[in-house]
A and B are shown apart, each in its own frame.
Chain A
Amino acid sequence: MTPLEFTLVAFGVSLGAGLLGSLLGLGGGIIVVPTLTLLLHVPIRLAIGASIVSVIATSSGAAAAYVRERMTNLRVAMFLEMATTTGALTGAYLAGVVDTRWLYLIFGLVLGFSALAMFRKRLHDLAAVVPSDRLADRLRLHDTYFDQAVGEEVSYQVTGTKSGLGLMYVAGTVSGLLGIGSGALKVPAMDLAMRLPIKVSTATSNFMIGVTAAASAGVFFARGQIDPFVAAPVAAGVLVGATGGSRLLGRLHSSVIRKVFVVVLLWVSIEMLLKGIR
């Protein structure tokens, strides 16, 4: 393959990964890393470095829209970012010292979990009565958002701030270690532990992913894991793909896509696991 061919192919597969990622509600990173390593034989550390950059691009693009539609809870985001960025630094540090074998294994497991988690999306929110949380009261984390489906302003109470922080630290570590947004871990943490409405959880998770990824990207940059030749086509491709995917989303029956691709993702997850075991 010539460098030109590589650039074009990397752009093409990243575009596909971004498209698929946004259609499935996963980030682009979790699809782009296996594609780069398994198909294009890019070393996994460089693939992770390229992926984290693309994660910043897509999450910032999506976050811009969510913030404008006022679905993001900025206070909750700022509060939890303390945990996610600390986690991201831990993860990015670990990514440089652990054996690549472990990167493949952990990646395979997280990918498998994320694929299965797509099926467990709750349809309705939990009971409106939530246990009161003094920290949430003091920091005034409770808020309202405009639900377009219902057509009215919905107010909600935030709880479980401490377990939320703990879970976010874990999510941040996974994000920094694997170069993914790890929205699949952040959304359930906010949704189940902190009882934020699912739409607010998604929007707020997206908002936090940018800063979290920026923290680990800084470490990766300094360590020389962000190869411009890999990162440039990947960042551009994933961003274009994800933007296209969000336009397509309304017109497709996502349940059909989900069923088809959960099988593909599980298969990819097994491939990654095998690469770690061999």
Chain B
Amino acid sequence: MTAQSPAGATRTPPEGVGLAEDDRVRRVELLISRLLRTGVLLSLLVVVAGMVITFARNPDYFSSHAQLHPLISTGAQFPHTPTSVIRGLRHGSGPAVVMVGLLLLIATPVMRGGQLDVPRPS
């Protein structure tokens, strides 16, 4: 991966920082970059799968005009606690699968936070 970067070769380490640390920072940067990309793609796949399940299990969503309002109004019912998401998953509910995807997406930028501890000065 490092070889692909045009900046990788020309970068000079900041004053007082050894080459070893610079390499380490670079590795962390690439790791974060991959983590973010994978997280976004994976969660989006889960979201799309959840929507497919939702429509497959509710054939009237294709034709009924009356079905829409309860789904997108202020009092709409959908899982919004970890337990209700898990319960929904057990019943194979589409919205619960969508929620898992969305929670995965929310967790993506948080997960990369853990990687950041490495380049700190010791």
Contacts known (A65-B33, A69-B5); A3 close to B68, Cβ less than 8 A: yes
Which 6 A-B residue pairings sit nearest by Cβ, starting from the closest? A210-B109, A228-B98, A146-B7, A3-B61, A224-B80, A64-B36
Instruction: Give the A-B contact count at a CB cut-off of 8 A.
Output: 168
**CB neighbors of B among A136-192 (8 A):** 140, 142-144, 146, 148, 152-153, 155
- Measured in the bound complex, the distance between the Cα atoms of B12 and A43 in whole Å is 52
- Which range holds the interface residue count of chain A? 35 or more
Q: Who on chain B is nearest to A5 by CB?
A: B68
- Measured in the bound complex, the distance between the Cα atoms of B25 and A22 in whole Å is 29
Q: Who on chain B is nearest to A1 by CB?
A: B68
Q: Who on chain B is nearest to A58 by CB?
A: B40
Where chain A touches its partner, the secondary structure class is helix
B91 contacts the other chain (Cβ, under 8 Å)? no
A103 contacts the other chain (Cβ, under 8 Å)? no
Of the stretches A105-113, A194-202, A229-237, A258-266, the one at the interface is A229-237
- Measured in the bound complex, the distance between the Cα atoms of B51 and A229 in whole Å is 8
* Of B10, B80, B119, the contact of A146 (CB 8 Å cutoff): B10
B18 contacts the other chain (Cβ, under 8 Å)? no
- A224 proximity list for chain B (CB < 8 A): 78, 80
Most buried by A among B6, B72, B116: B72
A56 contacts the other chain (Cβ, under 8 Å)? yes
- A143 proximity list for chain B (CB < 8 A): 14
Task: Return B89 CB to nearest CB of chain A, in Å.
Answer: 13
Q: Who on chain B is nearest to A216 by CB?
A: B106
Chain B interface residues (CB < 8 Å from chain A) = 5-7, 10-12, 14, 25-26, 29-30, 32-34, 36-37, 39-40, 43-44, 47-48, 50-51, 54-55, 58, 61-65, 67-68, 71-74, 76, 78, 80-81, 95, 98-99, 101-103, 105-110, 112-113, 116, 119, 121
- A230 proximity list for chain B (CB < 8 A): 72
Q: Can you show 5 pairs from A to B with CB atoms below 8 A apart?
A: A1-B68, A43-B72, A153-B12, A224-B80, A232-B101
A115 contacts the other chain (Cβ, under 8 Å)? no
- Could you tell me if A228 and B102 are in contact, using CB atoms closer than 8 angstroms? yes
- Measured in the bound complex, the distance between the Cα atoms of B7 and A143 in whole Å is 14
* Of B37, B47, B61, B76, the contact of A4 (CB 8 Å cutoff): B61
- Could you tell me if A214 and B44 are in contact, using CB atoms closer than 8 angstroms? no
- Could you tell me if A228 and B50 are in contact, using CB atoms closer than 8 angstroms? yes
Task: Return A95 CB to nearest CB of chain B, in Å.
Answer: 14
* Of B12, B14, B113, the contact of A142 (CB 8 Å cutoff): B14
- Could you tell me if A68 and B33 are in contact, using CB atoms closer than 8 angstroms? yes
- B71 proximity list for chain A (CB < 8 A): 3, 6, 227, 229
- Could you tell me if A4 and B98 are in contact, using CB atoms closer than 8 angstroms? no
Contacts known (A3-B67, A4-B55); A227 close to B36, Cβ less than 8 A: no
Task: Return A150 CB to nearest CB of chain B, in Å.
Answer: 12
Contacts known (A65-B33, A68-B5, A68-B33); A223 close to B80, Cβ less than 8 A: yes
- Measured in the bound complex, the distance between the Cα atoms of B39 and A169 in whole Å is 27
* Of A155, A211, A232, A235, the contact of B109 (CB 8 Å cutoff): A211
